[in-house]
Structure 1
């Protein structure tokens, strides 16, 4: 089972997948002083209301802390209301995710964030690329798609039509809070796995209403329908 502090670190990594939150976080990370919503909104070029919502998401993810303080050292009557200020929490979570439960998702997200920071590419685009490459390696190592699915924790079961139903989501807790990001990662990972094991029979399709996983492996309409082997134990 995922320990609470490990899950919190992973949720923080996922929170940085949003470009607006990433920008706000980077502004604060580089600032020697805590900053207000107005300052951050102005620096990021976004509405104050948008900054407020995204800043609170970063606080909830454990990446930022807040304090209420009157600016300029003023105090007493007439000095105005205290401003809510934000600052980053140290150490930075994005590079300290432990490789235990959910280690695969954590590695992919951290790698995507680091690459995005280095070259300015959109985080989600980089995450899809990184996930595809990781899936390619996993598929190549496993040799078959059912082997990769079993080894990675998807609990595959033949669907009777040459494909597989996925009885488990290896990233379930993370996907519950960050569905779009994690389902995109998942699709790229599975597509890469098919490429890695040279599987031209199957394809990855979204299954948003699936009880366990947001994707399924189906037999490609351009291929013959094989009898799917039982998952490896």
Structure 2
């Protein structure tokens, strides 16, 4: 998943309805500020982006994974899957001799 149960629980706590996609990203199926967004869309999308980035950062995740990707009927923010960490990738490689 894009960040695990802790991240989706934190997003739920902020009023979002997160759903992990087959590709590993997290779609937010609603906008907690939809009434305000009708008249102030740009402001609310900016608020959503930075709120979700704050949730990511507070949970020890990369805040830049939250990106604007507006679509009708959903929040304007999507959380991209985490990038492979170089250390984690190296740790999974089999050791091939040497000291």
The answer, yes or no, to whether TM exceeds 0.5 is yes
Determine if the alignment matches structure 1 residue 211 to structure 2 residue 73. yes
Q: Give the TM-score of the pair, scaled to structure 2.
A: 0.71
User: What secondary structure does 1:146 align onto?
Assistant: helix
Q: Which runs of 5+ in 2 are unaligned?
A: 86-99
Aligned partner (choices 66, 84, 91) of residue 223 of structure 1:
84
Structure with higher RCO (Cα < 8 A, 6+ apart): 2
Which residue of 2 is the match for residue 42 of structure 1? Answer: none
**Which of 137, 148, 154 is 2:16 aligned to?**
154
- Whose helix fraction is larger, Structure 1's or Structure 2's? 1
- CA deviation digits over 1:62-93, x for unaligned, max 9? xxxxxxxxxxxxxxxxxxxxxxxxxxxxxxxx
SS of corresponding position for 1:195: helix
Separation in 1, partners of 2:64, 2:44: 21
| Aligned positions, number | 81
Structure label with greater radius of gyration = 1
- 179, 193, 196: which one aligns with 2:58: 196
Runs of 4 or more consecutive aligned structure 1 residues displaced over 3 Å after TM superposition: none
